[in-house]
Amino acid sequence: MKHLLFLLIPVFFTITVQAQFNPDNFKGMKFRSIGPAGMSGRVTAIDVDLSNPNRIFAGAASGGVWLSENGGN
């Protein structure tokens, strides 16, 4: 019974927030390029910084080096 009480307590204190979609929030936004023009699907080299494993470098076959500082996420 004690375990059931601990499971139900968070239910009573949960607050439900509904987000409303408002198109006016997006009026000031404009389309822009956020990535390279030539996408490459082939990676030829990968290297990881041993002092920081979340820092990953990837070399693309079409040229260019990609950097991830969050472990590839």
How does DSSP classify residue 13? T
What pLDDT shows up at residue 51? 93
* Total domains, the chain: 1
pTM of this prediction exceeds 0.85:
no
Task: Decide if 57 is inside a domain.
Answer: yes
Q: Is residue 12 assigned to a domain?
A: no
What is the residue type of 18?
Q
Structural domain includes residue 3:
no
Q: Which domain holds residue 63?
A: 42-73
Whether residue 59 contacts residue 65, with contact meaning beta carbons closer than 8 Å, is answered with yes
Question: Which tokens sit at 58?
Answer: 């990837």
Residue 71 covered by a domain: yes
Going by pLDDT thresholds of 50, 70 and 90, the confidence category of residue 26 is confident
